[in-house]
């Protein structure tokens, strides 16, 4: 199963399905710069203590700034039994370029 999807694919899934969760694993300071409406925010370092806050059903799309931290989070979540987690390639930067130009870039 492919563990990475594009920002465009993530946007389409989010719009078409109520059981899609976007998970922003960036730091608080990054969230202040820009965010994706409706995403839940749990910084990468807090994920191990917040597993109960994450859905195990439906699609869990994880993103960060460019996609590297979120890929690590997806691998961690998979090891914890989350088979529904996928990485959004290119992160919020790709979202700003390919999906919603109103989302700030940094």
Active site residues: 64
Q: Would you call 85 exposed, middle or buried from its count of C-beta atoms within 10 A (0-12, 13-18, 19+)?
A: buried
Helices (H), the chain: 7-16, 28-33, 68-79, 91-98
């Amino acid at each position: 199963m492919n563990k990475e999807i594009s920002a465009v694919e993530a946007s389409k899934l989010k719009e078409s399905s109520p059981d899609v969760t976007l998970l922003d694993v960036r730091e608080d300071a990054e969230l202040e710069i820009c965010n994706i409406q409706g995403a839940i925010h749990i910084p990468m370092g807090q994920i191990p203590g917040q597993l109960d806050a994450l859905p195990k059903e439906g699609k869990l799309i994880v993103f960060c700034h460019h996609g590297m931290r979120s890929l690590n989070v997806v691998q961690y979540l998979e090891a914890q039994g989350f088979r529904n987690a996928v990485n959004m390639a290119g992160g919020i930067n790709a979202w700003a370029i390919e999906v919603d130009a109103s989302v700030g870039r940094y």
